[in-house]
Amino acid sequence: MNRPVCLIVPDIDDIEPKSSDPPMTASTPPQPTTEPPTKRDLLLDCAQELFTKEGFHATGIDRILDRAGVAKMTLYNNFGSKEQLIVEVLDRASEGLIGMMGEWAARSSDPFEQVMHLFDGLGEWFSRPDCRGCLLQAAAAEFSDPDSPVTQAIQRHDARVRTLVTRIARATECRAPDDLATQICLLLAGSLSAVRVCRCRQPADAAKRAAAILLEDACRRAEPPRL
C-alpha cells in the first residue's frame, strides 16, 4: 500500500526504453530493428512492466504515461480505455509466453524431451531476478467477473496453453494423452503460482521431475503389462 507516487524513474534501473537484459522473448514482432517503436508499442511495454510489478488495479494510467513519456490522449486514442489496454497487454503477453513455450519444446523432436524442455525453459525464466511469474495468472486473481473482456483474454490464453501441451501429449502416443495434458498443465500452473512466493527456479525443477513420472506412467500404461 502507499506506493511512491509519480514514479518517473523506475525502481533501480533504467530510464531508457532499452530493455537491459537479453529479452528472452520469443515472438517479438519481426521489426527490422533500429526502427523506433510506435507509441502504441511503447505504451504496451510500459503498461506490461508496471502491471507485472505492481498489479492492475494498483497501477494508474498516469504512471504508465509518465513511464512511457506519452500524452494521455495518445493512450485513449489507441486503446479507448484502461480495460482495453489491459486486454491488449494480456493478449500480447500470452502470445509471448506461448511463443517461448513453443521454442522451448522445439529444442527436441521427441515429445517426452519436449515436456522436459518445457520445464527447463520455465526454470531458466524463473532464474531471472526480474521474473514475477505469469501475468495472465495474476490477472485471473485480480479480475473475477466471468463476462469481462479481461477474463476472456485469460481464457484464450488458457486454451492456447492447453492446445500446445495437448499436442505434445498426443505425440507421445500414450493411452490417455488428454488426461496427461491436463496433469502437465496443472504442474505448469502450480510452478507458476509457486514462483511468486519462492522466487527461484525450484518449482520448475520439481515440476519437471513430477512431469517425468507422470509421462512415464502414462506411456507405461499404454503398453501391454509386462510379465
Q: Which residues bind a copy of itself (CB under 8 A)?
A: 1, 53-55, 57-58, 81-83, 132-133, 137-138, 140-144, 146, 148, 154-155, 158, 179, 182-183, 185-194, 196-197, 199, 203, 206-207, 209-210, 213-214, 217
In the shown chain, the binding pattern of residues 71 to 110 toward DNA, with x for contact by CB under 7 A and - for none, equals xxxx-xxx--xxx---------------------------
Q: How far is the CB of 78 from DNA (least distance, A)?
A: 6
Torsion on CA atoms 167, 172, 173, 179, rounded to nearest 10: -60
60 binds DNA (CB under 7 A): yes
Residue 210's CB is within 10 A of a number of other CB atoms, namely 17
Confirm if 150 and 139 have CB atoms less than 8 A apart. Answer: yes
- 71: which residues sit within 8 A by CB, 6+ positions away? 65
Question: Taking contact as CB under 7 A, which single stretch among the options 34-42, 111-119, 128-136, 150-158 is the one that binds DNA?
Answer: 34-42
- Judged by CB under 7 A, which of 24, 70, 186, 212 binds DNA? 70
User: What are the cell numbers at 28?
Assistant: 517479438
- Collapsing DSSP to helix, strand or coil, 28 comes out as coil
Give the other-Cβ count within 10 Å of 162's Cβ. 17
Q: Could you list the residues that contact DNA (CB under 7 A)?
A: 1-2, 5-6, 38-40, 59-63, 69-74, 76-78, 81-83
